[in-house]
Structure 1
Amino acid sequence: MNIKKSLALAFSAYGCFLFGQEKIIDTVYIFDSQMNKVKRFHQVNTISPEDLKKNSTNLSELLRFQSPVYIKENGRGAVSSPSFRGTTAQQTAFVWNGININSNFLGQGDINNISLQGYDQIDVKAGGGSVIYGSGAIGGSIHLNNTLDYHKGFHASLFSEAASYSTFNNFVRLSFSNDRLSVKVSGNHSQSENDYEVKESQNYINRNGQYNNSSFNLATAYKISSRHQLSWISEFFNGDQHYPVFFESSTRTKYETQNVRSLISWDWNRPELTNSLKAAYTEENFQYFGNIDQPKSSGGTGKNYIVKNDFNYFITPKWNVNIIGEFQVNKGEGYESGISQVSRNVGSVAGLVRYFASQNLRFEGGIKKDFIEDISSPVLFSFSGKWDAARWYHIGLNVSKNFRFPSFNDLYWQKGGNPDLKPETSHQFELRNEWMIAGIQLSVTPYYMRINDMINWLPGPAGYYEAFNTRNVESYGIESRIEYEKKSGKHLLKSVLGYSYTSSTNLDTGNQMVYVPFHKFFGTVDYQYDLVRLYVQGLYNGLTYTEANAKRSEAIDPYFVLNAGLSGTISRYYTLGIKVNNIFDQVYKTVAYYPLPKRNYSVTLSINF
C-alpha cells in the first residue's frame, strides 16, 4: 500500500493525522517523533539537502540566506550565534533528532561548530516551544533531523566543493535498506585558509581566520516485528577554529572543540497507540588557546545523560493524549574558569491534549513542569489552534509560556557567576494567516513576546562583571513568507521570499536590542529546464544597532547581497555547478569590525548512484 493511499484511509477512518503517521513509519523512520505533530499546529520551514547545497559553506550562511533568523558572525567561519524574533542566542534551542543540544556552559549553540552536512532536513521553527523542546526554546528552535528509509536498496552520494580562499568541502554518504534493516553512514570534512580581504573596511584582512572541521554520522534501524523497532544514531564532530586578529603583531588565538552525540530508541507502534523510549548521551569538549603556540588557557567538558519517553494515545478518534517524561544528569568541569566539577539533575513531565473537531479544525493544549536541582522553575503551558476556514485560507493561533534556566557559566563562573539566578521566562502570542491562491502560498504572522528576568552580565560593585536577572524585553513584529511553484513540461519555476519586521525593546533603556535588525528580506528564485538549473538568492538586512545606547554612528548600515548559481546534470549521476557569492561586491558585516567576504566563487560536483 503506498503512502498517499495509507494517509487517505487513515484520515477517512479516524479524521486525524497521527494514524496516518503510523503507516508512514513503515517506510520512513523519523528520529524526532514529535516533529510531524509540531508541523500540524506551527509553521516550520524545512530546508532540504538540495537547498542546503546553495549555501554549503557553513550553517551560518545557510540560516542567513534561507530563514528569518539574524545570524551574527565574527568573520566568516568564526564565532556565530542566532537571534530569533529579537531574542539572544541563549534563547534559541538547537535540537538534534529531538534532543536539546545547547551547551551546558554557555546555554547556546555556536553555529559554526555545528556540522552543516549529514542531516536529511533542517527545520526552522519560530516562536516558543519549551513544553516539548525544553530550556532555551523561547525565540525559536533549529532542528537538525535525520530519517531512515526502508525498501530502498543501496545508494551512495558524494558532494565536493572547491571555493575561494582555499576552501574545500567534501561530503560522502552511503545507505542500504531492505524490508527490516536500514543503515546510513556519512562523513564530512571542511577546511579553509579563509584569508579574504576587504580594503574598503579599514583595509581589513581576515588574518588568522583559518578553520577546519570534520564530522562522522552513523544511523541504523531494525524492525524486530511489525510493531517494534530499535534504532541508533551517533554523530562525532571535531573542529579547529582560529579567531581573526587585526594586526600582524597581534597574538593569535584559536578554539578547538570535540562533540559526541549518541541516541538509542525503542519505538512501539499500534494504530491507536505509539511509544518512543530514548536514551541519549551528549558530550562537548572545548579548549581555548590565548596563544596558538602555547598550551590551552581555558576549556571545559560537559556531559549529559538523558532518558526520554514519549507516549501517545488516542482515547477516541477525536481525542489524543500525549505524555512526555524526561530525566537528565548534566555534568560539567571547567579549566581556568573556576568551575570545578558540577552536576545537576533535571527532570520534566509534559502533557498535551489534542482535539480534532474535524479535518479542518483542531486544537492542542499543553502543560509542563520542570524539576531542576537547586533552581525553582515555573509551570509552562501552550495552546494552539488551527482552522482551515476555506480551501484557500487557514488561520492558526499559538499562545505559550516558555523559559530558560541558567547555564553553568551563569551560575558558577569565577569570578562573576551567581548561584541565586532565576530562570528567564517569556509569554508569547502569535496569529498565523495563510492564503493559497493560484499556486501562490502566502503566510503572514504577527506576534508579541515579553521576556522577564533575562540574565545579563554587568559590572558589579567589586569591579568585575557579574550575572544578574536585570533585563526585561518586549518584542513584537511580523513574519511573512510567499512561495510559488509552477511546472510546465520540462520547465520548473520555484520561488521563496520572506520578510520580517522586528521591534525588540530593552524596557530598562527603551532602546532596540543590539544585533536585532528592524527589517530583513531573504529569498531564492529557482528555474530548471530539463537537467539544467539556475537560481538567484538575495538578502537585505536593515539598520542594526551594535551598542546598547542605540548609537547611530556605531550601527551596521543596511546592505543587500545577491548570490547566483548554475548547475547541470550529466548522465543522470553527475551534477556540475558553479556559484558566485556577493555578485555586486557588497561590503557588509553582521558584527561590528568583522566584515564578511566580497565577491567570491565556488565550483561543485555531486555524484549520486
Structure 2
Amino acid sequence: MTIRHQFSAAFLFCFLLSFAQEKAIDTVYIFDNQLKNSKKFQKIQTLNQEDLLKNTTNLSEVLRFQSPVYIKENGRGMVSSPSFRGTTAQQTAFVWNGININSIFLGQGDVNNLNLLSYDQLEIKSGGGSVIYGSGAIGGTIHLNNELSFDKGFHSTLFLEGGSYHTINSFLKTSYSDDKLSIKISGNFVKSDNDYEVPEKNYVNLNGEYDNRTFNLGAAYKINTKNRLSWQTQIYDGEQHYPTSEFGTKTKYLSNTFRSLLAWDFISKKINNSFKVAYLQDDFQYFSNINQPKSSGGSGDSYFAKNDFNYFFNNQLAFNLITEYHFDKGEGYQSGIAGVSRNAGSVAGLLRWNPNQVLNFEAGVKKDFVEEIATPVLYSFSGKMNVTNWYSFALNISKNFRYPSFNDLYWKPGGNLDLKPEVSHQAELGNNFKYQNFKLNLTPYYIQIKDMIRWLPTPNGYWSPVNTNNVESYGLESQLDFEKAFENHQAKLSIGYVYTHSKDTDTDLFLMYVPQHKIFGNATYKYRFAEIFVQGMYNGLTYTTSDEAIRDAINPYFVMNAGVNLTFLKNYQIGFKINNIFDEIYETTAYFPLPKRNYSANLLINF
C-alpha cells in the first residue's frame, strides 16, 4: 500500500471516529519538555492553531508574517529556507517534538516540506541552543509540536479551504481521551495549480503546481501516577513542480518522510526522567525532466535514543543530565554518495538554581562525539532577574556549532572530508517590560561564527565546500504585545521590529539574503461572533549577491493581508481572507516573484 493510499484510509478512519461529546480539558502533554525551561530566560514565540489558521498557505507564510525570521522562498510553495539573526538555513534547527530533524544530506530543513497544519503548536526560539538541540542550533530553533490532552472525551476539527490558483487546503483532526488514555489522529491534504502571474515582471509561474498530504497518529497512556508512555508518528508525501520559463524543461521534486517517536516519562518528587527512541526516514527524488526517470535523489535513515534526567535537590536547585545517541545512514543517487553512515552521541549537564523569586540561573556544558569529526566543548549560561513588577532582564551566553552534512563530506565530485565544524559564540540581553495590558521585549544580540562552510568553485571546474567565512552578526529583536478583553470585545495586537547587521569579516560585506530591517505586525479584533484581523510585513533592502550589487538587490517592500471570521451555532466558523491587499510586487528570492492580490475562503467545524 502506497503512502497516498495509507493516508486516504487513515483520513476516512479519522472522519468516522469524530462524532461524539466532549469534556473539559484536564492536562496537556507536549513532547518537548526542555522548552518549558528555556522560556524562563529567552523569548519564545508560541503560535497555536488559531494563529496558524491565519496563514494557511504554508509554513513560510506563518514565519514571514508572524515571526522575526526572514524566509527565502523560490516562489510560492517552492523550496524555502529560514534565516535567524543573519545566519543561514543550515544554522537553523528544526525540532520535531524534541528531536532535531534537519536533513542529514543538506544539514537544513525545507520549510515548505513541513506541512503547516500537521502540528498543534509552533514555537520560534531565537538564539543558540546546541547544548540541548545539537548541531545547527546556532541562529535559532523552530519547534514543531504535537500535543495530547487527557480527560477531554471526544473532540474533532474539520477545516476546508479554497483559494486562488485552484488551491485546496484541508485537515481533519480527531481525538479521544480519558484520565488514563489519549489518542489523536489527523490528516492533511493540500493541492494547488499555483499558476499565478506578475505582469509587471513579465512573469508567469509555469509548472509551479504542488500537492502534499500528511497523516499523524499520537497516543499516550498513564500507567500509574509516576509513569507514562507516549507515541507520535507522522507520514508525509509531497510533490513540487519547480517553476520554469515558457520554453524551459519542466522539473519536479518528490519527497516522502516517515517519523516515529516513542517516549517513557517517569515523574516523582525528586526525579523526572524522559527516555525517547525515534526513527526518521527521508526519501527524495529530483527529476530534471518530468517525462524522464529521476536524475538525482537520496534516502536517509536516522535512529535516535535520548534520555533527559532531572534530579531536584530541593525547590531551589536541580541537576539535568541529557545523553543522546543517534546513527545516520544515507544512500544517494547520482551524487556519488554510496552507503555512508555516521555514529554520533553527546553528553550534556545543566545546573539550575532559583534562589528566590527574583533570581534564576542556568549553566550547561556539553560534549559531542561525532564519528571522524573533532567537535568542540559547548557551554551555555543564562541568568534572569525580576528587578520590579514591570521590568526584568535575562542574559544568555552560549557556544554552539554545526558539523558537516553528508553532502558536505561525500558529494562527488567536491566533497571535503577535512571540513571542520562551524563554531559560534553569542550573547544576548533580553529586556522585558510590562504595563497593564502591554508587554515589550527588547533583545540586543551578538553572534560570531568561525569556519562557516561555503561551497566555492575550484580550478577543476566543480564546486567544493571549505571552511572559509568568519561572520559577525549583531542587532536587535523587539516586539510589543497588547491584549485586552472587556464585555463582548477582545483586542489583540503584536508588532515586531528586527535590525540585523550581518557581515563576512574577511570581506567586510553583508551576507546575502539578510535584510537589515524587518517589521511585522498582527492585529485582531473580536466582537461576539465576528472577528477581523490584519497582518503587515515590511522587509528592507536585501542583497542577493556577495558583492553587495545594488542592481541585483531586492528592493524594500510592504505586504498586507486581512481577513474576517464569523462564528455561528457555536461550533461553525466561516472565513474569508485577502492576501497582499495592495497588490505589491515583491520577491524573497531574486527572479521568483510571489503572488499579487489573491483570495481564499474557509470553513472550520469543531464537534
Task: Please classify the TM superposition score into its range, dividing by the shorter chain length.
Answer: over 0.9
Between the aligned partners of 2:42 and 2:267, the Cα distance in structure 1 is 24
CA-based RMSD of the aligned residues comes to 0.8
d(CA) in 2 for partners of 1:115 and 1:236? Answer: 10
SS class of match (1:543)? coil
User: Per-residue deviation at 1:531?
Assistant: 1.1
Equivalent residues in 2 for 1:105-504 (5 A)? Answer: 105-201=105-201, 203-246=202-245, 248-504=246-502
Query: 2: distance between equivalents of 1:243 and 1:250?
Result: 11
Rounded to whole Å, the distance in 2 between the matches of 1:464 and 1:177 is 57
Question: What is the CA-CA distance between 1:194 and the residue it aligns to?
Answer: 0.1
Measure, in 1, the Cα distance between the counterparts of 2:225 and 2:314: 23
TM-score, normalised on structure 1? 0.95
Deviations 1:494-517 (A, max 9, x none): 001000000000112111100000
TM-score normalised by length of structure 2: 0.95
Q: Distance in 2 between matches of 1:491 and 1:284?
A: 47
Structure-2 separation of matches of 1:311 and 1:454: 33
The CA deviation at 1:33 is 1.6
Q: Is 1:604 the counterpart of 2:602 in the alignment?
A: yes
Per-residue deviation, 1:383: 0.2
Per-residue displacement from partner, 1:126-148 (whole Å, max 9, x unpaired)? 00000000000000000001111
* In the alignment, structure 1 residue 573 sits paired with structure 2 residue 568: no
The CA distance in 1 between the partners of 2:599 and 2:120, in whole Å, is 26
Residue range with higher mean Cα deviation, 284-293 or 111-120: 111-120
Q: Which residue of 1 aligns with 2:15?
A: none
1:14 maps to none
Distance 1:26 1:492 in 2: 25
Letter in 2 for 1:173: K
What amino acid does structure 2 have at the position aligned with 1:328? H
SS in 2 for 1:390: coil
Letter in 2 for 1:102: N
Distance in 2 between the 1:226 and 1:533 partners? Answer: 42
- Flag as ranges the 4+ runs of structure 1 deviating above 6 A: none
CA deviation digits over 1:526-555, x for unaligned, max 9? 000011000010000000000000001110
2-structure distance, mates of 1:556, 1:418 = 33
CA contact (8 A) 2:26 2:152 kept: no
Question: How far apart are the structure 2 equivalents of 1:267 and 1:95?
Answer: 19
| Residue equivalent to 1:561 | 559
Structure 2 gap segments, 5+ residues each: 1-24
CA distance in structure 2 between the aligned counterparts of 1:359 and 1:469, rounded to whole angstroms: 45
Preserved contact between residue 559 and residue 580 of structure 2 (Cα < 8 Å): yes
Between the aligned residues of both structures, percent identity stands at 59
| Corresponding residue pairs, total | 583
**CA contact 2:350–2:362 (8 Å) conserved in 1:** yes
* Counterpart-to-counterpart distance in 2, 1:105 and 1:499: 34
Q: CA deviation at 1:316?
A: 2.1
Q: Which runs of 5+ in 1 are unaligned?
A: 1-24
Q: How far does residue 26 in structure 1 lie from its aligned partner after superposition?
A: 7.5
Q: Deviations over 1:43-95 (max 9, x none)?
A: 10001110000000100011000000000000000110000000000000000
Describe how 1:23-62 pairs up with structure 2 within 5 A. 27-62=27-62
One-letter identity of the residue aligned with 1:115: N
Tell me the equivalent position of 1:550: 548
Q: 1:117 is paired with a residue of what secondary structure?
A: helix
Deviates more, 1:110-119 or 1:477-486: 110-119
C-alpha distance in 2 between matches for 1:383 and 1:125: 16
SS of match in other structure, 2:588: strand
> Does the CA-based 8 Å contact 2:424-2:450 persist in structure 1?
yes
- How many angstroms apart in 2 are the aligned matches of 1:302 and 1:339? 11
Q: The residue matched to 1:585 in structure 2 has which SS?
A: coil
SS in structure 2 at match of 1:288: strand
Q: In 2, Cα distance between the equivalents of 1:563 and 1:538?
A: 6
How far off is 1:272 after superposition? 2.3
CA deviation string 1:219-275 (max 9, x = no partner): 0000111100111000000000010002x2210000000001100001000122100
Q: What is the distance in 1 between the residues matched to 2:543 and 2:454?
A: 18
Q: Deviations over 1:536-586 (max 9, x none)?
A: 100000000000000011100000001000010010011000000000000
Asked whether the equivalents of residues 419 and 467 of structure 2 are also in contact (C-alpha less than 8 Å), the reply is yes
- 2:218 corresponds to which letter in structure 1? A
| Matched AA of 1:410 | D
- Which amino acid is 1:558 matched to? P
